[in-house]
Structure 1
């Protein structure tokens, strides 16, 4: 039996077990198991040390993405440049850290017809924002804007953007209208943190990529849709980054994205119905 899991804190609502398990079933990997474990930064080393040769890999969510870089034997160039790893592949007794978030973002935007934005604004300055900047650079942008709560604390993400060749304009979220006017807004703000900016984003006419996937739609997504704009949700990013993780962990290229999408959408619908009941 091969084992894999997603780690993070909190972890109870992670959709990763549904996506990965659906992939295994469609690929005929009947002896593969994917689970979820709550784990914070202080517990990651011990968790890794306890793994045996039956483990194929780990998916990592917050708050583990930066800590993982210090605990891996090798780190991909992308993960190092972004400053965070959401994947650890376990092979030959070694831990290989990688980042599939950037791939997930690029694939989600391209799938929605937004693969060549002329300009973009990223809301937030954390690890996900850093991946967003890398994705925008991969899509061909050479400059972008960032709106953050405290510009003085965005230095790490700004450094990531510059490593990928981006010229960045950074401003405070409370002066968002000064930064709007771009083709694309990428919101990496957690939960309902972006709700207060929904009307401003919708009025700008920009397309929106909101990394939140539940509850969905967010206020910003609903407002942009109502205004006739294009919206990409966090589920699409999660789906494509998970598909790349399956590829890395299994070593196979025939990853069944359609089966993963169907399973994920069904689970989200089930959760939404349960919340309404």
Structure 2
């Protein structure tokens, strides 16, 4: 009698060296004593389809997907979740019953991070200001709308990208020109930086957040550095802040549960592991 196969999962991207996902899932597997493996896979765009259809045959139960494959995998999936369809991208695949199931857990991870680290945050208390309209903004906007934020003010250096997102998500999203971006913060209850401004090697975030509502919450999806210029500016204005690392950690939970059969904890020990040199 053959032994039960050891489940395999991983993350595919191009390149993949920067991904923290192997550290996250590797810690959980070890901590929980689960016989399984999670590996990084460097997959070129032209090889994506071949690799995806080969992984289940090699014992893989699923995988994460990162840049530049998050949109392309939707066309290759047999089933797409509602939230992946809304976002227009997938970051989590489950291989089951001979089919590829695609999901997007970015919005879930974003909101779970805020709820864990700012438990008094009320998403429906007022509008949200979202800076940036790239791929990451899609998951953030979907998460905010799903959580009950009544209005999103979206501003981006390239206005056309913001307008495309506003059209995609509907009339709760209003576009504000980048040269008037500080208006987005006026009276906002939630402020989110999804731009690369403030990331290591990028220009700093220099916009004023002085007009935000009293007691507003500010968060940055960037986590390198952990304390970004955006968060520093927010604290100067007396705002509550939540760093971006928790989004990365929480978005990993649904996939781990689907692949390995348990929902792991996002706690201080996991943060220490991911932040270690």
Establish whether residue 107 from structure 1 lines up as the match of residue 116 from structure 2.
Answer: no
- Residue matched to 2:46: 42
1:208 to 208, 218, 226: 218
Structure with a larger share of its residues in helix: 1
Establish whether residue 223 from structure 1 lines up as the match of residue 233 from structure 2.
Answer: yes
Q: 1:173 and 1:199, CA in 2 relative to 1: closer, same or farther beyond 3 A? A: closer
Displacement after TM superposition at 1:203 (Å): 6.4
- Report the Cα distance in structure 2 between the residues aligned to 1:56 and 1:191, rounded to whole angstroms: 36
Does the Cα contact within 8 Å between 1:9 and 1:62 map onto a contact in 2?
Answer: yes
- Residue matched to 2:264: 255
Does the Cα contact within 8 Å between 2:10 and 2:39 map onto a contact in 1?
Answer: yes
CA deviation string 1:20-59 (max 9, x = no partner): 11111233212x1111122343332122133225101111
- Report the Cα distance in structure 1 between the residues aligned to 2:162 and 2:212, rounded to whole angstroms: 24
Q: 1:149 and 1:136, CA in 2 relative to 1: closer, same or farther beyond 3 A? A: same
- Residue matched to 1:129: 137
- Residue matched to 1:275: none
Displacement after TM superposition at 1:148 (Å): 0.9
Displacement after TM superposition at 1:262 (Å): 1.4
**Alignment of structure 1 residues 1-277 onto 2, 5 Å:** 1-30=6-35, 32-51=36-55, 52-111=57-116, 112-113=118-119, 114-116=121-123, 117-162=125-170, 166-181=171-186, 182-190=188-196, 192=198, 196-198=204-206, 200-201=208-209, 204=212, 206-250=216-260, 252-258=261-267, 261-268=268-275, 270-271=276-277
CA deviation string 1:187-243 (max 9, x = no partner): 111253685434513664642111111122111112223443211122111111111
- Report the Cα distance in structure 2 between the residues aligned to 1:22 and 1:185, rounded to whole angstroms: 31
Gaps spanning 5+ residues in structure 1: where?
Answer: 272-277
Does the Cα contact within 8 Å between 2:13 and 2:67 map onto a contact in 1?
Answer: yes
- Comparing 126-135 with 111-120, greater Cα deviation is found at 111-120
- Report the Cα distance in structure 2 between the residues aligned to 1:153 and 1:123, rounded to whole angstroms: 12
Does the Cα contact within 8 Å between 2:217 and 2:239 map onto a contact in 1?
Answer: yes
- Comparing 175-184 with 36-45, greater Cα deviation is found at 36-45
Displacement after TM superposition at 1:60 (Å): 1.1
- Report the Cα distance in structure 1 between the residues aligned to 2:93 and 2:263, rounded to whole angstroms: 20
Q: 1:198 and 1:231, CA in 2 relative to 1: closer, same or farther beyond 3 A? A: farther
- Comparing 122-131 with 34-43, greater Cα deviation is found at 34-43
Q: 1:67 and 1:231, CA in 2 relative to 1: closer, same or farther beyond 3 A? A: same
Gaps spanning 5+ residues in structure 2: where?
Answer: 1-5
Does the Cα contact within 8 Å between 1:88 and 1:96 map onto a contact in 2?
Answer: yes
Does the Cα contact within 8 Å between 1:27 and 1:256 map onto a contact in 2?
Answer: no
- Report the Cα distance in structure 1 between the residues aligned to 2:232 and 2:246, rounded to whole angstroms: 16
State the superposition RMSD in angstroms.
Answer: 2.2
SS of 2:225's equivalent? Answer: coil
